[in-house]
Amino acid sequence: MVSSFVQHILSLVLLSALFFFFLSNASTMKRPFNNSISALFVFGDSTVDAGNNNNLRTMVKSNFPPYGRDFVDHKPTGRFTNGRLPTDFVASYVGIKDYVPAYLDPTLSTEELKTGVSFASANSGYDPLTPRLSNVISLSKQLECFGELKERIEAAIGKEKTDELVKKAVYLVSAGTNDFIVNYYALPLRSTTYTMSQYQQFLLQNTKQFIQGLVNQGARRVAVIGLPPMGCLPIVITLHSGTMNRNCIDSESTVANDYNQMLQKELQAMQSQLAHQNVAIYYVDIYTPMVEMIQDPQKYGFEQSDTGCCGIGLLEETFLCNPRSTVCSDASKYVFWDSVHPTEMGYYLIFESVKPVVDSIIKS
């Protein structure tokens, strides 16, 4: 009798545990494949670089521990975080693939190329000067690489099928932060010749030129990610305030917010101009969810939002975050993995915030 009762209770506990497991993981479970999206092609900087810089002669790499600590098999892939990137979550959510690989990965098959890759390169930007500073892949070169990919796919499946694949794909662009933080602030290479307003306009023109380049290559659904609250990145706080007063630098976050508003207007205007070509352009807001996580970390389960998990979290990134660095025991308690890039949990919550945009793209 008692044994039967205990078994009943254990069964209920097990069922409850399974229910909460599936409930908590429902948002990340793969959707049934939606034929409206054939592939996900990604362009930009370290926020979406899946390992292209591994194959470059540059110091800007992350293909070593502790990067990738919480990725599959604890493997450092060249992603600038402890696990997955937002693009990985998007690809899994729409049912294309679990992870978006780097285009320069020499092991990729034609099938992998057909469902999408990342052309992004850490430390790149819309300003042509930005990638030259660290010998990484410019946005214009990333666009050329996409042209090369189309040729490779066409050789395998023919022009008609390739054109259809390109048309039904989604194109995601994430860049701009390095242009401001590196070129304008840290190394005032552009501030001597541009006012901030002029530089913002310069970047907007380059952004529009890049989008037009994608459209010319056949893109019909393009999502452009805005800037984060730059003044809240741990490295920016450190460079301005040191280790004591760890508050966001409002002036730099304001620049990012103002730029994002201008970017939205430019994208809306471009959308109207390209509507006759059935082109859809989407703005993706990451500024708002990041500000909310940073200003109220406890609400999202974080314990630390002004330093990174790697090292002391003040300046460490790329080679400064390395196998000899001390690392926090639980990265999910940190908004940032290093002094610039969010943790996998931070990226996941950003993805959750922008999921309505993803759903709109799926339906378009």
Residues marked as catalytic: 46, 338, 341
Q: CA–CA distance from 53 to each of 77, 127, 210 (Å)?
A: 10, 18, 21
- Count other C-beta atoms under 10 Å from residue 226's C-beta: 20
CA angle 137, 199, 176 (to 5 degrees): 40
- Tell me whether strands 334-336 and 304-308 are parallel, antiparallel or unpaired: parallel
Q: CA–CA distance from 215 to each of 89, 103, 246, 267 (Å)?
A: 25, 20, 43, 13
Nearest to 77 by CA among 101, 57, 98: 101
- Is residue 310 within 8 A of residue 338, CB to CB? The reply is yes
Amino acid at position 281, single letter: I
Q: 151 exposed, middle or buried (CB, 10 Å; 0-12, 13-18, 19+)?
A: exposed
* End-to-end CA, the chain: 59
Q: CA–CA distance from 303 to each of 69, 227, 332, 336, 348 (Å)?
A: 19, 24, 9, 11, 16
Alpha-carbon span 82 to 327, nearest angstrom: 11
Query: Could you check whether the bond before residue 76 is cis, i.e. omega within 30 degrees of 0?
Result: no
In the chain, what is the greatest distance between 2 CA atoms, to the nearest angstrom? 85
